[in-house]
Amino acid sequence: MSDSEKDLMIATLNKRLSALEAEVSALKAASPGIPEDVLVAISAAVSAYLGNDGSVQAVRFAPSPTWNSQGRKALQNHSIR
């Protein structure tokens, strides 16, 4: 592949990328986001209507220095248990 073919391919890809970015930004502007609390309420209502018990699959804590340090202390505890 010659340099001119590579340059043409790069220019074509850049043009396509610009068009896609413009389309995505137009779609984002046209449809406002649904607030998280409304989405959770709708999901809970649909789940209850369909008879799902809704068991918890995973819980994640927000990263903070306190959680990190407590986890390290628990893992690096060398005392006899």
Q: How far is CA 35 from CA 15, 32, 38, in A?
A: 34, 9, 5
pLDDT (0 to 100) of residue 4:
92
- Which pTM does this prediction carry? 0.39
- The average confidence (pLDDT) of the chain is 81
* Per-residue pLDDT reduced to its tens digit, 19-33: 999 999 888 888 777
- Amino acid identity, residue 6? K
For residue 51, give the DSSP letter. T
**What is the distance between the alpha carbons of residues 34 and 41, in angstroms, rounded to a whole number?**
11
Place of tokens 């649904």: 34
- Confidence at residue 61, expressed as pLDDT on a 0 to 100 scale: 60
Which pLDDT band holds residue 3 (cuts at 50, 70, 90)?
Answer: very high
